[in-house]
Amino acid sequence: MSTQLRESKLVPFFFLAAAFCCTFAKVQWNVAGSVFLADLTAVGFLLSYALDRLGRRTGPVPRTAVVLLGFLGAFLLVYLIGFFNLETGQALDQYGKGLTKWLLHFAFLVVGVIYLARKPIAFFWRTLGWFLGGIAVNGAYGVLQLLSAQAGHNLDSLVLQPLTRGASQINIYGAVNGSSVYRPNALTGDPNHLGIELVLPILILVPLYLRLERSHRLRRPLAVLIGFLLLVELATLSRSGMLGLVVGALVLLVPYRHLIFSRAAVLPLALVALPVAFEVYRRRHFFDVVVRSRLQTGGRSTTAHFGVYDFVPQVLHQHPLFGLGFNNFSVYYEFVTGKTNWGPHSFYVALLVEGGLVGTALFAGFLWYLFARVGVARRLGRALAAAGDPLAARLRPLAWGMTAALVGTMAANVFYLTMSFLYFYVFAMLLLAVPAVFSRR
């Protein structure tokens, strides 16, 4: 009997569950700290996979996993050296919590790459579907949340509170003539997080959709799904999300500029433009005020996002090489300003402040490796196309979509830090697994 047939059912269950719910930040329980459903499923996968491998002869570890283990050791060394820059008990507590979560996420990345590399291509597509489907479900919940709020109800209190025993609600941005301006945060906890996370499915699915045969059964459903995700993106009013989407779209223009005015490209946009135009026309003053406020660059929110960059030279002057210590920006910020529970509001500020120049250079090397591997996937797609393999029509758009999604997510994290969340590590796992999975062809 083959190893695949004897695999415990718990392994793929926890693996796909972690991919599906990795953006469900609100589904958490306060048990000796915050315990997230996504982290529980990730731990379940790691434990079930380890137990399933006991006593079995396994093949060689993929080279990608070996490189990732090297990055894991290097990051851990930088963070352990940064430990000696901690100065308070609060700093130590933040350091311990942050390092534990990071280790879990990176372990899932390494083991997930090994797991996918030994699976057939069909299982990779299945995993990608569960991952993108989880974000789409998150967006659908956000729409229901918005409709419920406009009707005077709190959907979170009906759905989430009985499950988690925690209070949450939709984000209220302000009011226009007595009408509240709602920004759906869905299951993420922050409308900007939702907006940035939606960048991934939109940019990954668009090139796949554009390359589908006209008679393919998924062509119309994907057009509707992309249009729906764009609507949710607009509803979040997230400037960072839109920045990531625009930057990623510019990347896709390189290979698909000849399709920009095709019927396939226009259809999802038309599905968005028609309802948006109708709603804007119906409530012209309301949307004029909201849009103007989001385009302002001198408000308190914008000032706060830019202001955190002022701390970079101050911290680097004190600890230039290894920073303040992992997950410690909020401690430093409270010491300087008196404000509690305030993150850096920029992934790159967090890199420089908490990891110093060495940690930042190391993460830049990690990003370079991601781009290098997705470049291998694009070259592999060209090789398959030259060989007349029909799989090239799926691999090449997938590789370009992942390239655009990575660039878009990096741009969006200039003012947010979702690249430290589990969903980014799941995305990186899928990206890194592509060459290993498809090279067997």
pLDDT tens track for 194-206: 999 999 999 999 9
pLDDT at 1 over 60: no
226, 228, 233, 236: CA torsion to nearest 10: -170
Torsion over CA of 371, 375, 378 and 380, rounded to 10 degrees?
Answer: -130
pLDDT band at 114 (very low <50, low <70, confident <90, very high): very high
Written as one letter, the residue type at 36 is F
Distance CA(249)–CA(191), nearest Å, equals 21
Spell out the residues 6+ positions from residue 35 whose beta carbon is closer than 8 angstroms to its own.
28, 29
What percentage of the chain reaches a pLDDT higher than 70? 93
Least confident piece of the model among 1-10, 84-93, 125-134, 321-330:
1-10
Query: 177 or 16, which is more confident?
Result: 16
Nearest to 33 by CA among 93, 87, 88, 109: 93
In this predicted model, which residue has the larger pLDDT, 189 or 186? 186
- How many Cβ atoms are within 10 Å of 213's Cβ, its own excluded? 10
Angstrom distance (rounded) from CA 179 to CA 150 = 9
Query: Which of 3-12, 146-155, 280-289 has the highest mean predicted lDDT (pLDDT)?
Result: 146-155
CB of 286 within 8 A of CB of 177?
yes
Domain ranges of the chain: 10-135+189-289+312-438
Q: 232-265, pLDDT tens digit by residue?
A: 999 999 999 999 999 999 999 999 998 888 888 8
Mean model confidence pLDDT for the chain:
90
